[in-house]
Amino acid sequence: MIWKLFFVVYTLFYLLAIPWKIKTYESGKVHATGRIKLEEAASISFHVFGCLALFSLAFEVTVFEPLVWTVWLSIGIVWTCSPLVLKSPKLEVLEGKIPNKGHLFGVYLIGCLIVLPLYWAAYACSSLVT
């Protein structure tokens, strides 16, 4: 039951985020560079695909082979950990808005916790589980 709830919440969140982001960019309220827009579009696309792992667990169906989820999870872990060692356009903007490193790390940690159910679902669907 919890996986169905996660699936609905995450799917609605990401599908509503897409038109909201587009409208925000078109209105000029947010001045984002092309690199930030690309990073956000890639992130949303990647995580929308991850919602299929939640769907698999929620409705007990196989959407993709376990190898797909192993690869997706590997990319997701690298993607999530990369801001700890590499600079990203969005992280550079956040550093300007949140100069306190402790607060910035807290924001980053909250973001990691938010995507944790997606990663857990991908792990459960992957070939890493025997």
In the chain, what are the domain boundaries?
Answer: 2-125
What's the rounded mean pLDDT across residues 73-83?
Answer: 88
DSSP 86: S
Measured distance CA(86)–CA(77) in Å, rounded? 14
φ, ψ of residue 75 in degrees (nearest 5)? -65, -40
Give per-residue pLDDT as tens, 88-118.
Answer: 888 788 788 888 888 888 888 898 899 999 9
Q: Are 94 and 107 in contact (CB under 8 A)?
A: yes
Torsion 113-16-92-102 (CA) sign: negative
Between helices 89-97 and 101-125, what is the axis angle to 10°?
140
Six token digits for residue 9: 């919440």
Reference 64, options 79, 49, 74, 76; nearest CA is 49
pTM above 0.85, yes or no: no
Per-residue confidence band for 130, with pLDDT thresholds at 50, 70 and 90: low
